[in-house]
Amino acid sequence: MRSGKLETANPRFRFVPTLTRVANNNGGKGKIGHISPETLLTRVKSLRGPIYYIAGPPTMVASVRQTLGEEGVDEDDIRTEEFAGY
């Protein structure tokens, strides 16, 4: 199921691909830059409450996990998967 269909099936689901090593996203729906509280707040009303799924290189996953923790997100609301070896 594509992300658009997931968002239609579950209005509480948001998929926001975020790229950090490109000059532009070629007209895509993704965001460019590092994930910050401000970036997240463009998609959710409050950082506390949603469940976050983070997948990517270990340093990126650790950085986003730290950012969420600093903003008071409960550790139980963060799911991660690390992909090493890029």
pLDDT tens-digit map of 24-73 = 555 666 677 788 888 888 877 888 888 899 888 899 899 999 999 998 99
Indicate whether 79 pLDDT > 90. Answer: yes
- Cβ contacts of 53-61, under 8 Å, gap ≥ 24: 53/79, 53/80, 53/81, 54/78, 54/79, 54/80, 54/81, 55/80, 55/81, 55/82, 55/83, 56/82, 56/83, 57/82, 57/83, 57/84, 57/86, 58/82, 58/84, 60/20
